[in-house]
Amino acid sequence: MIWIGNVLVSPGEAGVYGERTLDGYRVWDPYRSKLAALYALGGGVELESWMRVLYLGAANGTTVSHVADYVETVYAVEFAPRPMQDLLEVARRRKKIVPIMADASRPEDYAPLMESVDLVYQDVAQPNQVEIAERNLVFLKPGGWFILMLKTRSVDVRRDPAGVLEETLAALERRIEVAEARWLEPYHHDHAAIVCSRP
């Protein structure tokens, strides 16, 4: 990862969403990207040029574009038509992004387009976030990483976020090894990042 002082940047061309540039690099804003927030807080997985990434919940491609600046390929899955239009435009200018319009809870629909990946990154605002994770682990290589951005209020708005996190960790630990979990305050409220590894 590239830091200029305490500012996280990525090395691709600018102009994806009106982001600032610094010394020719794109500033990766932790208030706009939960993955950038995780890095700003000292956590996360180092992105490498040889990595292939499956990104679930790509939305309009803001964070996807930064990830693509670092890695070999990003398979970007998004279900909603409006953000998909933006994602397609981002992918048109970044050949490393493979946009896939599909439901992340139905990986069988995009399995023919996939290969094994080094990182699965999930940012999907659904109550069944753990179930979606479990279904997509089929694409993760041994030795690979999985990052879940847990939106606790999407799981159950009435419950204590700490309880939702605890329950989610217990469910994930039955399938994969949890390396770290941390809240994303002050950048994102009631969101937690869970980083897992597949031995």
Q: Binding site: what residues are annotated?
A: 62-63, 78-79, 103-104, 123-126
Separation in Å, CA 150 to CA 72, 104, 114, 166: 26, 15, 24, 11
Helices (H) and strands (E) in the chain — how many of each? 6, 11
**pLDDT for res 15:** 77
Q: Give the domain ranges of the chain.
A: 30-197
Peptide bond into 112 cis (omega under 30): no
How far apart (Å, rounded) are the C-alpha atoms in residues 92 and 110?
20
Instruction: Please list, in sequence order, all residues whose beta carbon lies within 8 angstroms of the beta carbon of residue 121, skipping any fewer than 6 positions away.
Output: 35, 53, 54, 55, 56, 67, 146, 147, 149
Q: Provide the CB-side half-sphere exposure for 126 (13 A, CA).
A: 17
Four-residue CA torsion sign, 94, 188, 84, 19: negative
* Ordered per-residue pLDDT tens for the chain, 199 residues: 999 999 999 998 877 888 999 999 999 999 999 999 999 999 999 999 999 999 999 999 999 999 999 999 999 999 999 999 999 999 998 999 999 999 999 999 999 999 999 999 999 988 898 999 999 999 999 999 999 999 888 877 777 888 889 999 999 999 899 999 999 999 999 999 999 998 8
How far apart (Å, rounded) are the C-alpha atoms in residues 149 and 132?
12
Nearest to 164, CA basis, from 153, 175, 179: 153
Global model pTM greater than 0.85: yes
Nearest to 65, CA basis, from 79, 80, 82, 83: 83
Q: Binding site for S-adenosyl-L-methionine: what residues are annotated?
A: 62-63, 78-79, 103-104, 123-126
The CATH code of the domain at 30-197 is 3.40.50.150
